[in-house]
Amino acid sequence: MAAPEDPHRRRVGLLYDERMCRHATPDGEIHPENPDRIRAIWQKLESEGIPLRCVVLSAKEAEDKYIASVHTARHIKLIKNISSKKFNSQRLRIASEFNSIYFNKGSSEASYLAAGSVMEVSEKVAKGDLDSAIAIVRPPGHHAESDEAMGFCLFNNVAIAANFLLNERPELGIRKILIVDWDVHHGNGTQNMFYNDPRVLFFSVHRFDFGMFYPASGDGSYCMIGEGPGAGYNINVPWEQGQCGDADYVAVWDHVLLPVAESYDPDIILISAGFDAAVDDPLGGCCITPYGYSLMLKKLMGFAQGKIVMALEGGYNLKSIADSVLACAKVLLEEKPLVGSIKAQPLESTWRVIQEVRHELKTFWPALSVELPQKVLVSNWRPCSVELNLSSSSESIVENDGGASVTICATNFVEIIEPLSKLNIDEDNHGKAITLDHIATDKSPVVLSEECPNAQALMPDKNVDGCTRWRSVLSKTEVWYGSYGSNMWKPGFLCYIKGGKVEGMNEPCPGSQDKSSPKGVIWKTVPHQLFFARSLTRTWGKGGVAFLHPESNKNDKAYMCMYRITLEQFNDVLLQENSLHQENGKSQGAGAPLLDLSDIGVVAENKSLPLEALKAGWYSNILYLGEEDNLPILTMTCSCSEIDQFRSGELPVSGPSNDYMNTLVRGLVEGKQITREEAIAYINDAAMREL
């Protein structure tokens, strides 16, 4: 090993300070962003002897005047005072006014230390006293807006440090800063702070899920390229789904970030280094390995003379973040060559996203204008993994299949339906070219609830705290969920429980939080009219989808496949079927149940219950169809007023697409209800019949 005085030895700064552990939830509630995160990282580094090989630094509080370069006086005042005694009784209330924020008596000091620490190491790296540095700080910073704490972030540590170098230390020669934000969430705060500023090239790669992933605002779209003199200096790589891993990130590095960095030629690189895209992270649903992080970092060391500062942002699996930071520290120390290999190919959606980003930015960065070789695009990808075990589907009347028949896709995808009407696109698009891409690239903010991607990830922030409580109550009640459309095909329905997608679906479903299989499956027929309406869904593409007339009629007969699930799961199915996206309410999905225990009584009494919270959804009306085994049979369909709109042509009525039709046929046939021919006739009849 090289001796400490070895002039060739890399001088790597390592900053950790126990005082940043004092920011914690006020009453010890469990929270993913907790003090153990930085302790776990530090312990790991110590156990590997890393601090001995680095320049260890302790934290320094940032001065208000430097924080003021990105935050308002009001925000600084709030963070400065929030921990003082006189706020003791108000802290909870104030925190609840922000999105995903808590405060305690250690919050002020920790925030000032986190910001000051990133400033401190950045200055030392800029000066050349250090080659590079890692600041193991918390609270994280990249979501913090100039006048708003959010997403576990109080001060925007990296933005403060960047402004400090540019404005306060001109003599250090830092004129251009590349910020690489590889946290799984979009760095909205940092983006906004430098949106007009070409001295900072902000690059963020994050899950976007078409606007569904936290912070779910549209700011993370690839269309957000910067403004005025900053145009072209803001780059977002918005993943369409989870499951992204080493191969996806390396592809983005090779085909977006590195060519841009090459021509931008930054004087220093600040990494908003969240590790919540790491494999096994409870919030991220992605799968970067420590080797992946080390490659991403290594590839950046060729720029800015290796002047790199890593500042911790998110990352919520203690082992994953510790292993990942360790791998990065080893890269910065440059003592051994990297060993490892990338196990998979990029997802198909990754190539699509890369091309969209390159297209959007090619006028600013000529290196992005060359077409990617066709051979990379057409063969070099893996599909979203779904394995179907068809033999297990609907064989018996009552099933309790322990063997998962659908591989779980930990994605956050829910059908996006209503944005169509928001975009004023004629849904009945008579021959007009409306591609699904139009929806995906919608610039207008789509405020959506963030589904908890992994069932285990119960986050007791203000929204999800409530979520834990109602979930545990509703998980103890069972109902029969009656399906009459694509969910009659059990593998299709299981996507709403386990997550994932089946043949014919364009996009995967996130699944329910409780992924346990239905406790029973029974078929019956109900005296309601089946019909097909609407004209386009993200999941199924063009064509109408199934609805049941909310009023019963003894001359009608619809097949129904009923699944015995918990009321909690029913709520998650309801949410996915309706893809909540109202403008108000930031976290409707998680905050409160759509259908509560008391609603069951109401719907049993009135036979139907239109849910106000879902009125923008397509399946907002809950129907009560009797009982089976003393459990209510519930289904969901459109409201009565929508029936009138379908009749008048105000809302489109259209037959099912082939894929959708096939799924229904499969459901009926594999469910042993009718023959294939009968099923086709049944569906055609429903599609033809007058409402």
Residues that bind Zn ion in the complex, under the rule CB under 5 A: 183, 185, 274, 276, 314
**Shortest gap between Cβ of 626 and ligand X5A (angstroms)?**
40
User: Both tokens of residue 218?
Assistant: 């549209």
Q: Count CA within 13 A, CB hemisphere, residue 594.
A: 31
Q: Which SS3 state, helix, strand or coil, does residue 562 take?
A: strand
Q: Is 183 in the site for ligand X5A (CB under 6 A)?
A: yes
Nearest to 9 by CA among 52, 41, 47: 52
- Decide the pairing of beta strands 631-637 and 530-533: unpaired
510 closest CA partner among 577, 464, 453: 453
Write the CA distances from 688 to 213, 559, 655, integer angstroms: 39, 17, 8
Identity (one letter) of the amino acid at 42?
A: W
Nearer to ligand X5A, 463 or 637 (CB): 463
Query: Dihedral of CA 639/645/651/656: which sign?
Result: positive
Distance, CA of 249 to CA of 103 (rounded, Å): 34
Smallest distance, Zn ion to C-beta of residue 212, A = 15
Using the rule CB under 6 A, is 152 a contact of ligand X5A? yes
Regarding 659 and contact with ligand X5A (CB under 6 A), the answer is: no
Q: What are phi and psi of 236, to 5 degrees?
A: -110, 135
Buried b (16+ CB within 10 A) or exposed e, 138-176: bbbbbbbbbebbbbbbbbbbbbbbbbbbbeeeeebebeb
Dist CA 604 CA 567 (whole Å): 14
At its nearest, how many Å lie between Zn ion and the CB of residue 182? 10
Question: Measured from the CB of residue 183, what is the shortest distance to ligand X5A in angstroms?
Answer: 5
214 binds ligand X5A per the rule CB under 6 A:
yes
**Biggest alpha carbon–alpha carbon distance for the chain:** 91
Binding to ligand X5A, residues 350-409 (CB under 6 A): none
Identify which of 121, 37, 128 has the alpha carbon closest to the alpha carbon of residue 325. 37
CA distance 483 to 230: 51
Binding segment for ligand X5A among 58-66, 111-119, 145-153, 400-408 (CB under 6 A)? 145-153
Residue from 450, 451, 556, 642 touching ligand X5A (CB under 6 A): that is 450
Helix (H, G, I), strand (E, B) or coil at 472: helix
> How many residues bind ligand X5A, per CB under 6 A?
14
Binding to ligand X5A by residue 153, rule CB under 6 A? yes
Q: How far is the CB of 179 from ligand X5A (least distance, A)?
A: 15
Cβ proximity to ligand X5A: between 314 and 492 the closer is 314
143 interface partner picked from Zn ion, ligand X5A, none, CB below 5 to 8 A per type:
ligand X5A
Query: According to CB under 6 A, which one of 143, 330, 358, 490 is a site residue for ligand X5A?
Result: 143
* 185, 199, 307, 581: which one binds ligand X5A (CB under 6 A): 185
At its nearest, how many Å lie between ligand X5A and the CB of residue 114? 12
- Closer of 183 and 248 to ligand X5A (Cβ): 183
Q: Which does 71 bind (CB under 5 to 8 A by kind): ligand X5A, Zn ion, none?
A: none
> Which residues are part of the catalytic machinery?
143
Looking at 115-123, 128-136, 149-157, 360-368, which segment touches ligand X5A (CB under 6 A)?
A: 149-157
Nearer to ligand X5A, 123 or 276 (CB): 276
Q: Which is nearer to ligand X5A, 232 or 510 (CB)?
A: 510
Partner interacting with residue 153 (select from ligand X5A, Zn ion, none; CB below 5-8 Å by kind): ligand X5A
461 versus 577: smaller Cβ distance to ligand X5A: 461
589 binds ligand X5A (CB under 6 A): no
Instruction: Examine residue 151 and tell whether it contacts ligand X5A (CB under 6 A).
Output: yes
Q: Which helix (H) or strand (E) element contains residue 479? A: strand 478-483
Which residue, among 70, 277, 110, 109, has the nearest Cα to 185 in the 3D structure? 277
What angle (nearest 5°) sits at the alpha carbon of residue 214, between those of residues 187 and 359?
60
Q: Which stretch binds ligand X5A (CB under 6 A): 44-52, 147-155, 323-331, 594-602?
A: 147-155
**β 541-542/268-273 pair status:** unpaired
Q: Does 313 bind ligand X5A (CB under 6 A)?
A: yes
Does 140 participate in binding ligand X5A (rule CB under 6 A)?
yes
Choosing from 181, 197, 276, 360, the residue that interacts with ligand X5A (CB under 6 A) is 276
Pick one of Zn ion, ligand X5A, none as the site partner of residue 151 (Cβ within 5 to 8 A by kind): ligand X5A
How far apart CA 618 and CA 636 sit, in angstroms, is 9
Task: For residue 475, give both structure tokens.
Answer: 């998980």
Question: What is the number of the residue whose Cβ is closest to ligand X5A?
Answer: 314
Residue position matching structure tokens 């033809």: 688
Q: Smaller CB distance to ligand X5A: residue 210 or 351?
A: 210
- When CB distances are held under 5 to 8 angstroms depending on the partner's kind, the choice from ligand X5A, Zn ion, none that residue 450 binds is ligand X5A
Is residue 268 within 8 A of residue 122, CB to CB? The reply is yes
3 state SS of 326: helix
Query: 36: exposed, middle or buried (C-beta count within 10 Å: 0-12, 13-18, 19+)?
Result: exposed
CB of 30 to ligand X5A, least distance (A): 14
**Nearest distance in Å: CB 314, Zn ion:** 3
Tell the burial category of 614 from Cβ atoms under 10 Å away from its Cβ (0-12, 13-18, 19+): buried
Residue pair 518/426 in contact by the 8 Å Cβ criterion? no
Which two structure tokens, joined as six digits, stand for 582? Answer: 């109202």
Query: Of the two residues 145 and 183, which places its CB atom closer to Zn ion in the complex?
Result: 183
Of all residues in the shown chain, the one whose CB is closest to Zn ion is 314
What's the closest the beta carbon of residue 478 comes to ligand X5A, in angstroms? 29
Per-residue contact flags (x/-) with ligand X5A for residues 95 to 114, judged by CB under 6 A: -----x--------------
The residue type of 44 is: K
User: Per-residue x/- mask for ligand X5A, residues 235 to 274, rule CB under 6 A?
Assistant: ---------------------------------------x
The Cβ-side half-sphere exposure at 624, using a 13 Å CA radius, reads: 17
Q: How far is the CB of 454 from ligand X5A (least distance, A)?
A: 13
Give contact residues for ligand X5A (rule: CB under 6 A).
Answer: 100, 140, 143, 151-153, 183, 185, 214, 274, 276, 313-314, 450
